[in-house]
Structure formats: C-alpha cells, structure tokens
Amino acid sequence: MSGQKRIFSGIKSTGIPTLGNYLGAMKNWAEMQEENDCIYCVVDLHAITIRLEPEDFRRQTRLVYALLLACGLTPDRCLLYLQSHVHQHAELSWMLNCYTMFGELSRMTQFKDKSRKNPDNINAGLFDYPVLMAADILLFDTDLVPVGQDQKQHVELARDIAERFNGIYGDVFTVPQPFIPRVGAKINSLIDPSRKMDKSDPNPAAYIALTDGRDVILSKFKKAVTDSDPHVRFDPVNKPGVSNLMAIYALTGGKSLEEVEREFDGKGYGAFKLAVGESVDAALAPIRLKAAEFCSDPDTLDRMMADAAERAAALAEPCMSRVRQAIGFIEKRR
C-alpha cells in the first residue's frame, strides 16, 4: 500500500518474554501491523551467545513464536518468522563484518555489560552481535526499527554501516530510523526501578513473565518497590518505582498518566498496587490462553513458521542480490 513504512523488529527466544517486552514491543507490534508493512522475527541466532540445552531451546522458541501470535500478530497482516530459517541473515552478517570497524563494536555498551555478567563466556558472537542485528534490519529495506533505549545504539551502528557501504557502492541499503515510544519503551524492574525489567534477572519477583498466573502477578505487584511519599504522581527522577507502576497501569488500562494520577488521588499504595496487578492480569490472561492453544499443536505451528520463512527469504533475496553485485561476487546461475 502506498505510503506504508517498512518496519522490522525482533525478539530473542531465550527466557519467557516479560511484561516489559509486551508493553515495550509486542503490544506495539500488533498495533503497528494495521497501518504499516511489518516484518517481525524471533531472533534465535542471537540467542546462542549463551549456552542452551537443545530441547529447552526448541521448546522456548516455539513458545515465544506462539506468544507473539497470541499478542495479535497474524500472517495476513504481518510477516513473523524464525531468523535461523532464513539463511540470508547469516550471509549478510558476514559481509557487513567486513565493513564494520573493530573500534565501533568495542564501544557497544551491551557487549560491555554482558561481558561483566558472563565473564566465563565472552565469545566472538557476543562481540559481533550488533552486526547480525544490522543485517537483520538492512536485509529488508527497513524504514523504521521500534526499539527500547538500550537498543538504540545498535540501530545507530546499523545506520553507520549502511551509510559506509552506500558511500562506497551507491544506494544499496535503505538507511533505517529508530522509533522509540514515549511511554513504555522501557518498563523497569519491580524490585529495582533503576534497572530495566529483564527476564534473565535472578530474582523472579523483579519481573512479570507473560505466562505468570493471576496469583503470581498480584503477589509480585504487592511486593513492588514504591517510596515513602504516599502520592501517586509521575516523577521518574524522584519517584521511579511509582512512575514505573503508573506507566504499566496506563498502558495496560488504556489510560493517560494524568487520568491515573486523578484516579488514585488520596488513595494509598496498597490499593494502587492491587489495581495495577489486576489490570496486568486482565491484559495477559487472554494471551496466556491463546499461546497455550498454539503450543498444543506444534505441527501447525511449525508449518506456519515454514510458510513465513519462504516469504521472508523471497523478500530478503533482492537486497542480497544488490549486495553481491555491488561487492563483485559472481551470481550463481539458475
């Protein structure tokens, strides 16, 4: 459709996606597919920078795919596929490695953070992660990349690589723009609101998994950190815990932050946290149910993945052909 933007984004298949993943990405993906040309990917190649048990990895990948479908992504309105099913991702990643500077990768903050957390497994894939991400994005002539603040640096690197390549060979790549929602782009930990909600957090009370049941959700919000000032007011600097809960309540309940402040004016944190928990459960319960239905029929799920991979490979090949021709590779005769 004329005027549509091509959007690409991906999610790793390690760990169960959290409420932060849902509000910061997955919910927005479902909304964006209505008016844009959207391509979404379960980035399972990115997942293997850590050691995974094969059967758990397969089960987890199907679950993440099912959760995305349950969030409203549909094959007739978007493309949703597995990264490892489309060989052009790895092919373009290697080529872009040769146009990416070592110093650029050395400055990536996520590599530094993850290296500190996993000092016994600082592998080349972890270092090279942003180049594969750049290939993911550039492969589809992407206009917009919806990301959280923590991934913005990677999109900027993808832009730098694209501009460098275009400067050498001409207009081969579309140069993408990052898109960061104003509220909800970064949902923080319930226990430490100075940090992002993270599914790898060792404390399960810090995050809400999309598969958590009602009792678990209410219990976690009951323990969520607030502050000594009893007023429900959006102030991320001075009231980070309360502001985080307000953003969650606003996004799950379809309300503005101003409406949330008025609703809880003069009420205590106990009532506020209970309301947030109930709002989150109401939003996630249908997703839990639908995802379980998809996972109960793995053959159908796998066929959906295979069909999507064929579509994705067909869309990726024109870009790969331009890149091969620009660099000087001999195209394989058919």
Of the candidates 12, 27, 114, 239, the residue annotated as catalytic is 114
Answer for the pair 238, 208: CB distance below 8 angstroms, yes or no. Answer: no
Question: 299 is written with which tokens?
Answer: 């053959």
Of the candidates 12, 27, 186, 199, the residue annotated as catalytic is 199
- C-beta pairs of 161-168 under 8 Å, 24+ apart in sequence: 161/96, 161/99, 161/100, 161/131, 161/134, 162/134, 162/138, 164/99, 165/96, 165/99, 165/326, 168/99
To 5 degrees, how large is the angle CA 207–CA 208–CA 209? 115
Annotation marks residue 114 as catalytic: yes
Match 């940090």 to its residue by tokens: 195
Of the candidates 196, 220, 239, 273, the residue annotated as catalytic is 196
Between CA 156 and CA 60 the distance in angstroms is 30
Annotation marks residue 255 as catalytic: no
Q: Which helix (H) or strand (E) holds 102?
A: helix 102-106
User: How many other C-beta atoms can be found within 10 angstroms of the C-beta atom of residue 90?
Assistant: 13
Annotation marks residue 267 as catalytic: no
Please give the positions annotated as active site. 114, 196, 199
